């Protein structure tokens, strides 16, 4: 079963983008792991997200869920088509940029070399 929740982390199996009279649009297709799992289209309300195929993202807020009707070649309409979720998303790359440790440069005494110090020291730094 493919499940979509607010705060969930997903991988885009396919990406569809374009523009229309309203502006840019983007649909990311997600699918649970396993054989023959249903696909759900996530219509991004804050495009462009910059997510490509196999890109990871988090759903921030879901605004609506719709089950699309479809038309067969003989002209008959049927229900139970594709499921589309309209949502705000954040790419994982943006989240990682926010929590990335800040680096600062510091000059050692009597030495012209620079050492990179991060906000989070390693185990080696604790035993120096």
Segment 52-79, tens digit of pLDDT = 888 899 999 999 998 888 888 998 888 7
Residue 44 has pLDDT above 90, yes or no: yes
Q: How far apart are the first and last CA of the chain?
A: 52
pLDDT in tens, 78-118: 877 788 999 999 888 766 666 655 555 555 555 545 455 55
SS3 106: strand
CA-nearest of 69, 81, 86 to 4 is 86
| 11 vs 66: CA distance, rounded Å | 20
Structural tokens at position 32: 């649970």
Q: Is 19 within 8 Å of 80 (Cβ atoms)?
A: no
pLDDT in tens, 119-128: 555 555 555 5
State mean pLDDT over 23-27: 91
Q: Beta partners for 77?
A: 71
- Which CATH superfamily is 9-99 part of? Nucleic acid-binding proteins (2.40.50.140)
In whole angstroms, what separates CA 15 from the centre of its chain? 11
Residue 36 has pLDDT above 70, yes or no: yes
Q: Is 65 within 8 Å of 56 (Cβ atoms)?
A: no
Q: What is the pTM of this model?
A: 0.67
């Amino acid at each position: 079963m493919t499940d979509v929740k607010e705060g969930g982390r997903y991988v885009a199996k396919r990406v569809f983008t374009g523009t229309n009279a309203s502006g840019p649009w983007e649909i990311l297709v997600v699918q649970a792991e396993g054989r023959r799992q249903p696909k759900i289209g996530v219509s991004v309300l804050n495009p462009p997200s910059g997510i490509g195929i196999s890109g990871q993202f988090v759903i921030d807020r879901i605004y609506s869920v719709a089950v699309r009707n479809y038309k067969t070649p003989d002209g008959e309409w049927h229900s139970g088509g594709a499921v589309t979720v309209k949502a705000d998303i954040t790419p994982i790359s943006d989240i990682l940029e926010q929590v990335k440790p800040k680096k600062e440069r510091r000059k050692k005494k009597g030495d012209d070399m620079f050492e990179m110090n991060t906000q989070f020291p390693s185990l080696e730094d604790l035993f120096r």
